[in-house]
A and B are shown apart, each in its own frame.
Chain A
Amino acid sequence: MSLLNVTDLDVRFALRQGEVRALRNVSFSLDRGERLGIVGESGAGKSVAAFSLLNLIAKPGFIAGGSIRFDGQELNGMSERCLRKIRGNRISMIFQDPMMTLNPVLSIGEQMVECLKAHRRISSREARTIALHKLQQVQIPSPETRLDQYPHELSGGMRQRIIIAIALLLDPDIIIADEPTTALDVTIQAEIMALLLELCEKHNVGLILITHDLGVVSQVTQRMLVMYAGRVIEEGPTREIINDPQHPYTQGLMNALPQMATPGERLNQIPGSMPSLSKLPSGCAFHPRCGFVKRADGQPRRACHDVIPDFVESGNCRVACHMVAEMLNGEPSLAKEETP
């Protein structure tokens, strides 16, 4: 049994024009100290997945079903009171934009101390000592002065270091990092990522890294999920997926990397764009953009249009694709769920 087990997570948004399903049948697990990457285009549901783990999705979003088991407890349906004891304490988060994440009118020290005091019965002085220690761990110069400074007095990279320090304050089991380096200067990105990796390894903290940077995923994580239109479409050891992507979408992502293009020619891209969640195509949501909806002999593969693909095992990976299933088994895989 892993530390975190997410099964068939189903998240919906109750909009005026009806319910939109932001996540469907998302399942994954995370072992203690393991690092998992979640990749996909914008709008694939990566952040929704991250926020729904701690039930932090904003209204009108809600968890419609599924199970989130963490260390023997079920988080889906848990009371706000009990969830609060887990948030920031056993599972903490790092947000995307360090310029927006810290409260502008509270000092760094206050924002660190309040977090400690929310979870432990300790004096302000003890809390300050712990905060200072964590600031040293994230290699902030002159941490003592930082405690009394306000966010606007610090640079973006510095603020993200402080947010990492806050995430580590209570020695959590898991850190969920939602695109932690996207908003940073390119030169700072590598530094912050290296720091995060180092601290997670050192303290044996599990990491769920949400990003669209495949380079970062391959350097940092051991396993990865590829998401498309609210579903997981490929899952497995990072190395295997990066070296030999099975799903046409993952292959497209790899090909789109600038390194994959021939110098002097146009960059590769996946034609079209991610469908709106309220108007998902029938069958496999990727089929309108997929180059494999026709078989090698030119015959269309009906299943791609009609049936949502189920996972098939391919080596150590799981892939949700009719084409892959056909190559492996000689017949298309049928989903549990029919097309709506």
Chain B
Amino acid sequence: MIAFLTKRLMHAILVMFVISVLAFAIQGNLGDPIQQMVGQSVPESEREALRERFGLNDPFHTQYLRFAANALQGDFGFSYFYREPALDVIARHLPATLELVFGATLIIVLLSVPIGVYSAIKPRSPISRFFMGVSIIGISVPVFLTAIVLIQIFSIGMTVSLFPQDTAWGSWLNGFLSTEGGMPSFGRGQDLTHMVGYWDSNLFTLGGLRHLALPSIALASIMLPLFIRLIRAEMQEVLQSEYVKFARAKGISLRRIYFVHALKNTLLPVITVGGVQIGTMVAYTILTETVFQWPGMGLMFIDAINRADIPLIVAYLMIVGVIFVVTNTLVDLVYGMVNPTVKLTGKPA
């Protein structure tokens, strides 16, 4: 276990080194930072002096080493726009993003397992076919469109008058399909619970949860169909296996076969994929947060790019790198606990 963690730590250091080089390398390609700092009116001689002072004329590796040394001490430089340490800016935006990802993950886990298992057990039932059809749409429609449709239906509300209003069924259908709207679709709202430090939470008040609902659904919409299909495919394969047949020959109840024998084996590959996808979801928040003006890291990152706020961009990339490395390590730990054939060792397999 210790050996495994040590090995993973060394991997993590290597990965972070590569990310930092890449992140740092984009600095020179996002416009002139001096221009961003001082504007148009400052004469060239003063600009040159500033450049010299900030070390921008030094060779790349000198600049990188200086950056890396500072970064190791938690100093990613000052955000040009916020005029405060980049890491503080990120820390302020991180909780909102993590709560959004948490909400989406919760939706995905709670829905994908039952739907996936059901459609594997009863592949021909109309309900399974319905979910498979919807999931294809879910995979194909981009998040920002889903988000806008959600806002139209649940926030603005819509009046349906497609069906003849003068018939009973028509007016019922119109009423059934029309929505009141009213769900919040802008930002995190006011009902936040202060936790610690920069962490204000949406999770503990009804108002907060209402604000979290639509963004979470939108973010989940892209991953949920993927997981439903993954679980269904894995489960169907497991149900064909010899050990499931043997369990039936032993006289074990179908319920136990499905939920103990089959589901446990089904979830092994799902855990692996799921871990990677949680990292990816952090990246997807950029789109969701933009549509819902959710004040998290994703929205902050887009703003930072528009403002060429380079220290903030670099710091964001580094933090996302850390999140990926941490979630992947956690996933491997969980996988090792669930799968008895895996032993966590430092040795290569």
The residues of A with any CB-CB pair to B shorter than 8 Å are 54, 56, 58, 80, 84-89, 92-93, 95, 97, 100-107, 114-115, 118-119, 150, 152, 163, 166
Question: In the assembled complex, how far is the CB of residue B166 from the closest CB belonging to chain A, in whole angstroms?
Answer: 49
Please tell me if the beta carbons of B242 and A95 are within 8 angstroms of each other in the complex.
yes
B265–A114 CB distance below 8 A: no
Chain B nearest Cβ from A47, distance in angstroms: 11
In the bound complex, do residue B249 and residue A56 qualify as a contact, i.e. CB atoms below 8 Å apart? yes
Q: Are A115 and B341 in contact (CB under 8 A)?
A: no
Least CB distance from A119 to B in Å reads 6
Q: Are A119 and B251 in contact (CB under 8 A)?
A: yes
CB-CB nearest in chain B for A163: B246
Within the complex, which residue of B243, B248, B264, B338 is in contact with A102, where a contact is CB–CB below 8 Å?
B243
User: Known interface pairs A103-B243, A103-B265, A105-B264. Does A92 touch B341 (Cβ–Cβ under 8 Å)?
Assistant: no
Q: Is the CB of B261 within 8 A of A166?
A: no
Decide if B339 is an interface residue (CB 8 Å cutoff): yes
Write the nearest CB–CB distance from B139 to chain A, whole angstroms: 29
A115-B250 in contact (CB<8A): yes
Q: Are B249 and A92 in contact (CB-based, < 8 A)? A: yes
Asked whether any CB of chain A lies closer than 8 Å to the CB of B25, the reply is no
* 20 A-B pairs (CB sep. < 8 Å): A54-B249, A56-B245, A58-B240, A84-B252, A84-B253, A87-B250, A95-B242, A95-B249, A100-B243, A101-B243, A102-B246, A103-B247, A103-B261, A104-B243, A104-B340, A104-B341, A105-B265, A115-B250, A115-B252, A152-B340
Measured between beta carbons, the chain A residues less than 8 angstroms from B245 are 56, 58, 95
Chain A residues whose CB sits within 8 angstroms of the CB of B256 once the complex forms: 114, 118
> For the complex, is B35 an interface residue (Cβ under 8 Å from A)?
no
8 additional A-B pairs beyond A102-B243, A150-B341, beta carbons within 8 Å, are A56-B249, A87-B251, A95-B246, A100-B242, A101-B243, A104-B341, A118-B256, A152-B340
CA distance A102 to B254 in the complex (A): 17
CA distance A92 to B252 in the complex (A): 12
Partner of A166, one of B250, B260, B341: B250
- For B251, give its contact among A58, A86, A103, A106 (CB under 8 Å): A86
Bound complex: CA A56 to CA B247 (Å): 11
Which residue of chain A is the closest to B249 with respect to CB atoms?
A: A93
Q: Interface size bucket, B side?
A: 20 to 34
CA distance A150 to B339 in the complex (A): 10
- Which residues of chain A come closer than 8 Å to B250, judged between CB atoms? 87-88, 92, 114-115, 118, 166
Are A118 and B252 in contact, with the CB atoms below 8 A? yes
Asked whether, in the complex, the Cβ of B341 is within 8 Å of the Cβ of A106, the reply is: no
| A107 contacts across to B, CB distance below 8 A | 340
For B261, the closest partner residue in chain A by CB is A103
Give the chain A neighbours of B253 by CB distance below 8 A.
84, 118
A278 shortest CB reach to chain B, Å: 22
Which of B242, B243, B251, B268 is the one whose CB lies under 8 Å from A115?
B251
Shortest Cβ distance from A100 into B: residue:
B242
Which chain B residue has the least Cβ–Cβ distance from A91? Answer: B249
Q: Is the CB of B252 within 8 A of A150?
A: no
Once the chains are docked, how many angstroms separate the CA of A56 from the CA of B257?
14
With A103-B243, A106-B260 already in contact, the answer to whether A150 and B249 are too (CB < 8 A) is no
**Using Cβ atoms and an 8 Å threshold, which residues of chain A touch B246?**
93, 95, 101-102, 163
B-side interface residues toward A, CB under 8 Å?
240-243, 245-254, 256, 260-261, 264-265, 268, 338-341
A87 contact set on B, CB distance < 8 A = 248-251
The distance in angstroms between the C-alpha atoms of A58 and B243, with both chains bound, is 14
Contacts of B254 in A (CB 8 A): 80
**How many whole Å from A75's CB to the nearest CB in chain B?**
13
- Chain A residues lying within 8 Å of B249, measured Cβ to Cβ, are 54, 56, 87-88, 92-93, 95
Task: Determine the distance from Cα of A273 to Cα of B250 in the docked complex, in whole angstroms.
Answer: 35
The CA of A85 and the CA of B250, in the complex, are separated in Å by: 9
Interface contact A114-B252, CB-CB below 8 Å: yes
What residues on B are CB-neighbors of A89 within 8 Å?
251
B19 CB → nearest A CB, Å: 35
The answer for the CA separation of A150 and B248 in the assembled complex, in Å, is 20
Chain B contacts for A54, CB-based, 8 A? 249
Cβ–Cβ contact B261 & A100, under 8 A: no
Within 8 Å CB of B261, what residues of A? 103, 106
The 8 closest A-B pairs by CB, nearest first: A88-B251, A88-B250, A100-B242, A87-B251, A93-B249, A150-B340, A103-B243, A115-B250
| A residues less than 8 Å from B268 (CB atoms) | 105
Question: Smallest distance from the beta carbon of B149 to chain A beta carbons, Å?
Answer: 39
What residues of B have a CB within 8 angstroms of the CB of A106 in the complex? 260-261, 264
Partner of A97, one of B240, B242, B264, B339: B242
Write the nearest CB–CB distance from B251 to chain A, whole angstroms.
Answer: 4
Give the residues in chain A near B338, CB-CB below 8 Å.
105
Q: When chains A and B are docked, how far (Å) is the Cα of A106 from the Cα of B248?
A: 15
Return the chain B residue nearest A87 by Cβ.
B251
How many Å lie between the Cα of A80 and that of B248 in the bound state? Answer: 11
* Neighbouring B residues of A115 by C-beta, 8 Å: 250-252
The CA-CA distance from A94 to B245 in the complex, in Å, is: 11
Q: In the docked arrangement, what's the CA distance between A102 and B249, Å? A: 12
Residues of B contacting A163 with CB < 8 Å?
Answer: 246
Residue numbers in B under 8 Å from A97 (CB-CB): 242
Task: State A105–B268 Cα separation when bound (angstroms).
Answer: 10
Closest Cβ–Cβ distance, residue A300 to chain B (whole Å): 45
A313 to B: closest C-beta gap in Å: 35
B247: A residues at CB distance < 8 A: 103
Complex-state Cα separation, A119 to B256, whole angstroms: 13
Residue of A nearest to B241 (CB): A100
Distance (whole angstroms) from the CB of A83 to the closest CB of chain B: 8
